[in-house]
Amino acid sequence: MSEGLLETAAAPSPEGFRQDALVMKDVRVTLPTGKGLLRIIRDATFHVAKGEIVALAGESGSGKSTSIMAALRLLPPGARVDGTIILDGQDVLAMPRRELRGLRAKRARLVFQDPWRSLHPMKRIGAQLVESARTADPSLSREAARELAERMLARVGIPEPASRMDSYPHEVSGGQSQRIVIAMALVAGPSVLFCDEPTTALDVTTQAQILELLRELNRELGLSIVIATHDLDVISDLADRLVVMYAGEVVEAGPTAEVLSRPRHPYTWSLLRSAPGSHEPGERLHTIEGRPPGPAESPAGCAFAARCPSVHEVCLSTRPEPRPVAPGRSAACLLTEGYGPITAGARDE
Amino acid sequence: MIGYAVRRLLLVAVVAWGVTTFLFTLARLSGDPAELMSPPEASEAVIEATRERLGLNEPFFVQYGDALLSSFTFDFGDSFSFSQPAMAMVLERLGPSLWLVIPSLVLCVVLSFGIGTFAALRPSRLSGRLLMVGAFVTGSVPYFWMALLLVLLLAVNLQWLPATGSEGMASLVIPVVALTLAAVSTTTRLVRGQLLDSFNEGHVLTARSKGVPPWKVLFGHALPGAMPPLLAWLGIEFSFLFSALLVLEPLLGYNGLGALLIRSVGNQDFPLVQASVFCMAMLITLVNIAMDLIVRLIDPRLRAKAAA
């Protein structure tokens, strides 16, 4: 499943920016409020190579969706973004608004969790696709845009695309809506597709179909895909690489198969252990005790220390930095820095 | 859609019946018009003759039947006090009243959409907040008091406008300004609120994420999405403006339907009361139904429901 993309380095080198679809370096997202500063993302660094599928995994509030919104500079006004974000070779945070709109229109598109809410309820599907195509390429005639839209609807598996163009969003099912939203992104011919929990709102069969569609688009068009998800089972077959986020930090990154089979961060390990897929039928589901620190809290040490099964005294006072732990892999855990490995006993418990 | 329109229009008949019955009952409870119309020294025979002439001696159900019949034929008979056909008088006064209501409504739409949109685009900035405080303050001032203030300022002190009357365009200014200020305040706050909600909708974020320019996000995505409740509200605002005329017209000596109705109530002039209330109720109902139909025309989800 890894298609020879595993050799990509975990930490991007500056000269590596050109081959990367997305580089996030020391990205920090803060929101000043009346009650103090909220830290939504704390110095997150990860990258997505061209043609790669990368999953951002984590619980709600881990910062995975915020990372995507930050990459497109779509965060609400008031949110402050520091660090470096290079999207398709361009510095997103330094871009003038007009250029940024061009980047969103042509090169980096976004698919949201809830397909019903992503389409305008009062406009025909065709009109929304045509608008999308002509925003990306204003020289396109209305007729050419319609033709392109129909072709893309057919490509994402919408039956009778020509008649669907005249439908309204409430007339199609959720799975079809999500396909339509994906087609709406594809008419622009983007090089990066961001998907924020693209299948969470859908039933299991439809989920699998949408994920398969994303896989095909990645193979055929060389589309780089970034998926935010809380469901490790969903992305295990799809993503080339996994970026695990916890409390606004990247705690582990590496090729999906390796991270899933040999997690190097206790959080990843706990997350895998609590996934329904790793349980026998009838077995009680494992949970991770406690809750992650909120965006208003700033723990002195490791953010996961309070819930960590392998916590060491030093973890409470020292904040771990992401370190390379194997070729193409990194983890932010003091245990990987010689404070004693995760014991076999802890892992089997 | 046509079926829906027909069903709504049947509702008008129900409203007509309700209004007629209500007025009829109320009128019978409020005393004897024959006595009121006659001079104090009139003999019992004269009063009785008047009663007979007005049909007040007929059995209750005959009178009620006559009232219903008049509502459905739009013929309410002659006014007791003016001895002219009541409906003709009402229609004659409707024009001047609409000269107050329609300009107020148009001004209200222009101002509230303009200011509301401006404020929604800068919700946390000082200019946006000040506008909302302004809207709140103007909305807290009763329109009749506002009208009196305007009379004091523009007619008495500055002498730019007539204080009372309904002659010429100048006489429209004070009532229209008072009505507009009253209506624009709530509508502005509603426009701003609806737009802010709309900005948070997934489809507006989708439009922004597609690189659609801001003006097109506003006019092509956010505003259309915010329209259905605003249109329904404008129907209600129309009702409010009409009801405000009942106070404003007598206050400013303006010869409209509101003044006529208040006077005919005082005179216990049943045909005139019936004709004017009936006419107002029908107008308000029809405008609200029209708004309802427009909302359904622009919103395909409601259209689907209406067809079902």
Q: What is the pLDDT of residues A69-78, one digit of tens each?
A: 999 999 988 8
| Confidence category of residue B44, pLDDT binned at 50, 70, 90 | confident
Optimal mutation site among A116, A122, A129, interface B, most CBs of chain B within 10 A: A122
Q: Does pLDDT of A341 surpass 50?
A: no
Residue of higher predicted confidence among A257 and A273: A257
3-class DSSP assignment, residue A85: strand
Residues of chain A neighbouring B208 (CB-CB closer than 8 A): 74, 104
Task: Decide if A120 and B224 are in contact by the 8 Å CB cutoff.
Answer: yes
Residues of chain A neighbouring B124 (CB-CB closer than 8 A): 77-78
Cα dihedral A290, A292, A297, A300 sign:
positive
Which residue from B202, B212, B299 is facing A112, i.e. has the nearest CB?
B202
- A191: its two tokens: 């090089």
Q: What is the pLDDT of residues B210-265, one digit of tens each?
A: 999 999 999 999 999 999 999 999 999 999 999 999 999 999 999 999 999 999 98
CA-based nearest residue to B91, from B250, B239, B257, B243: B257
In chain A, domain spans? 14-107+190-279, 119-187
A:B CB pairs within 8 Å? 73
**Can you tell me the distance from the alpha carbon of B73 to that of B95, in angstroms, rounded to the nearest whole number?**
21
Task: Decide if B300 and A122 are in contact by the 8 Å CB cutoff.
Answer: yes
What's the pLDDT score for residue A2?
40
What's the distance, CA A157 to chain centroid? 24
| Confidence category of residue B7, pLDDT binned at 50, 70, 90 | confident
Chain A contact residues (CB < 8 Å to B): 72, 74, 77-78, 101-106, 109-110, 112, 114, 117-123, 131-132, 135-136, 168, 170-171, 181, 184, 188
Q: Does pLDDT of A81 surpass 70?
A: yes
Task: Decide if B203 and A121 are in contact by the 8 Å CB cutoff.
Answer: yes
In Å, how far is B131's CA from the nearest CA of chain A? Answer: 20
**Which among A84-98, A292-306, B67-81, B121-135 has the top mean pLDDT?**
A84-98
Optimal mutation site among B122, B125, B200, B203, interface A, most CBs of chain A within 10 A: B203
Q: What is the pLDDT of residues A24-42, one digit of tens each?
A: 999 999 998 888 889 999 9
Which residue from B206, B208, B225 is facing A122, i.e. has the nearest CB?
B225
Q: What's the whole-number mean pLDDT along residues A40-57? A: 94
The mean pLDDT value of chain A amounts to 87
Q: What is the pLDDT of residues A147-198, one digit of tens each?
A: 999 999 999 999 999 999 999 999 998 889 999 999 999 999 999 999 998 8
3-class DSSP assignment, residue A255: strand
Q: Which residue has the tokens 């965060």?
A: A75
Residues of chain B neighbouring A121 (CB-CB closer than 8 A): 203, 225, 299-301
Domains in chain B: ranges and CATH: 93-307 (1.10.3720.10)
What's the pLDDT score for residue B209?
93
Residues of chain B neighbouring A72 (CB-CB closer than 8 A): 209
Contact, A150 vs A161, CB < 8 A? Answer: yes
The mean pLDDT value of chain B amounts to 89
Architecture of the domain spanning A14-107+190-279: 3-Layer(aba) Sandwich (3.40)
Q: Does pLDDT of A347 surpass 50?
A: no
Residue of higher predicted confidence among A127 and B129: A127
Task: Decide if A105 and B304 are in contact by the 8 Å CB cutoff.
Answer: no
In chain A the beta strands, taken as DSSP E runs, fall at 20-33, 36-49, 53-57, 80-87, 90-91, 108-111, 192-196, 224-229, 241-246, 249-255, 323-326, 329-331
What's the pLDDT score for residue B306?
62
Contact, B120 vs B192, CB < 8 A? Answer: yes
Q: Does pLDDT of B53 surpass 90?
A: no
Contact, A110 vs A68, CB < 8 A? Answer: yes
Q: What's the whole-number mean pLDDT along residues A57-68? A: 91
Please spell the DSSP secondary structure of A9-63, one letter per residue.
Answer: -SSPPGGGGGGEEEEEEEEEEEEEETTEEEEEEEEEEEEEETT-EEEEE--TTSS
| Confidence category of residue B89, pLDDT binned at 50, 70, 90 | very high
Optimal mutation site among A65, A104, A120, interface B, most CBs of chain B within 10 A: A120
- B60: its two tokens: 């209750």
| Confidence category of residue A342, pLDDT binned at 50, 70, 90 | very low
| Confidence category of residue A290, pLDDT binned at 50, 70, 90 | confident
Question: How far from each other are the two terminal CA atoms of chain A, in whole angstroms?
Answer: 29
Residues of chain A neighbouring B209 (CB-CB closer than 8 A): 72, 74, 104, 109-110
What's the pLDDT score for residue A348?
41
Which residue from A122, A135, A170 is facing B210, i.e. has the nearest CB?
A135
In Å, how far is A178's CA from the nearest CA of chain B? Answer: 13
Task: Decide if A117 and B301 are in contact by the 8 Å CB cutoff.
Answer: no
In Å, how far is B209's CA from the nearest CA of chain A? Answer: 6
Q: What is the pLDDT of residues B187-200, one digit of tens each?
A: 999 999 999 999 98
Q: What's the whole-number mean pLDDT along residues B131-141? A: 86
| Confidence category of residue B57, pLDDT binned at 50, 70, 90 | confident
